[in-house]
Chains A and B, each alone.
Chain A
Amino acid sequence: MASGVFVFAEQVDNGFKKSTLEAVSEGRRLADALGEPLCAMVMGGGIAELAGGLGTYGVDKVLASDDTALIDFAADAYTQTLHQAIQEMGPRVVLAAATVTGKELFARLAAKLDTGLAMECSDLAMDGDALSAKRSLYGGKVIATVTVQGSPMLATLRPNVSDVVEAPKTAEVVSMAPVTSGGRTQVVDKQLESGGKVELTEANFVVSGGRGMGGPDYSLLEELAKSLGGAVGASRNAVDEGWRPVSDQVGQTGKVVSPKVYFACGISGAIQHVAGIRTSDVIVAINKDDDAPIFRIADYGVKGDLNEVVPAIIAEVKKLKG
């Protein structure tokens, strides 16, 4: 009989992202509801300390696959090793953060295990023997409650919609030999922002610019984001104009974000954009145009020239933060 909750704790550059710790905390919550143990798996190179540290978030047992071949995301080795771990442990539910890696890995696992998987979930709960979760469809235009069945039941968790909760205990760390044979893909290079930059989907404050920016100079928005410890986003228009990278795009054809505060600067508020920001706690719109649809959904509207208003906001935030 399947039992327990199992979390794939993705490491990047020998650290955990906030989204991964959120997944671990959600795993603890679900394990408590079931009265069953929480197990986590870490794959990487030189990760012993990192693995043991998961006890801070209430993990009972950590499987650690420590191998230089696992330092970067080795798709086949990760899939096979996690597959083997799941077969040995026989968990009821398996979770991960919905990162690019987490989603790719879990999509393959679901096919391998012929089991149910729900991507980018929130509000996980047991519904009898099934796992229920909420997820947004159509880039946030519709919210679905889905029921996942199978053994185990898989889900990836949307970043920034649950909390990181400390529940310290001493985690038992067990090493597990990885399955590295037969790997077909290989990471030959990587360009990752090192430290400091806050991930768009994980940020508490998102400052986005649209067509009203008038060009690729986003330095004002970057400064406001920096003063708040947040991230910069962009509308589809701004990305299509080539002003901002694709990875900054917010909306149905970009990222769905749910920060504490979303600043929409010079963004008119197209349906597909609004879909991606709807779950923000507070939306602030700054726009010259009285009739901009964004004002109809913003909690606070500021009518004005963003080139004048944003610097003044930066000054106020700096005053506040001392």
Chain B
Amino acid sequence: MNIIVLVKQVPDTESLLEVDTANATVNTQNVKWIINPYDEYAIEEALQIKEAKGAGSVTVVAVGPDRSEQALRTALAMGADTAVLVNDAAAEGSDALGIAKVLAGVIKEMPYDLVIAGVRAVDDDGYQVPAAVAEYLELPLVTAVIKQELGEGKITCHQLVEGGSLVVEAPLPMLFTAQKGLNEPRYASLPNIMKAKKKPLEKKRLADIGLDAALVGTGSAKVAISALALPPERKGGKMVTGDTPEALAAELVRLLKEEAEVL
């Protein structure tokens, strides 16, 4: 079973972000970069499937600048076999559809039975790229999967929806997106981190995948950020006073009712 996993490098969720309001960009100089946490579930699931089958390969694919190589090396250290990074200045400033066109362009040249991605990236919170990749590759799609069972030529996915879950069957090849709960991603061990440095990581340009640069990048983007701001700062309010739990509770409920007027 050959599995492809879509990977994105994002700022660490524990990092505080600075916004350059004049240029509508996020200042990322001091940011620590990590694999998108949802992509770790996707990588882990791919590895578990390959290990259970005892055969096949796991390929991780990313679009991004040079630093993205670090995220792919981490994925290789977790156990992925090969990696592909599309690093092309022409793809910078792409919207979700632009990125998806690049990813689909890479994937269609490779043999695969399954494509797995994170349910969303925790930077742009877009939820869009994996679905667009599925459309471009004409693959069945199930999003937000928390459990899957592979059968003969098909897969059964448990999809986390509002208020419960749906069990969805799809034929292979297909694409599904990983939601938290799917598994516990492994840590890369030191020996594996060393080994990962020697695993194949192929770098490609748009020309290598035969994609017209006019279809991606800022020029073709249909969604653009026109302004960025930090959310209005929340200041600490007041500490509720009272000598006993009962007095504290009575005062809190009074404040919620009379001052905040929300009860």
Contacts and interface: CB of A to CB of B under 8 A. Distances in A.
Interface stretch (B48-56, B57-65, B80-88, B232-240): B232-240
Contacts of B225: 144-147
Most chain A CB atoms below 10 A, which of B17, B131, B179, B224: B131
A322 to B, nearest CB: 13
A139 B255 contact: no
A300 B122 contact: no
A33 interface: no
Given A111-B132, A138-B17, A300-B252, A187 B163 contact: no
B186 to A, nearest CB: 15
Contact of B245 (A139, A297, A308): A308
Contact of B162 (A99, A138, A302, A308): A99
B207 interface: no
Given A117-B223, A141-B17, A253-B13, A299 B237 contact: yes
Contact of B26 (A115, A120, A142, A201): A142
Interface string B156-185: 100111111111111100100001110000
B143 A100 contact: yes
A302 B240 contact: yes
A299 B132 CA distance: 41
Interface residues of A, number: 92
B198 interface: no
Interface of B: 11, 13-17, 19, 24, 26, 37-38, 95-97, 100, 122-128, 130-132, 134-136, 140-144, 146, 156, 159-171, 174, 179-181, 222-231, 234-240, 245-246, 248-250, 252-253, 255-257, 260, 262-263
A239 B160 CA distance: 15
Contact of A139 (B24, B125, B174): B125
Interface stretch (A35-43, A172-180, A214-222, A279-287): A279-287
B128 A110 contact: yes
A185 B140 CA distance: 7
Interface stretch (A24-32, A71-79, A86-94): A71-79
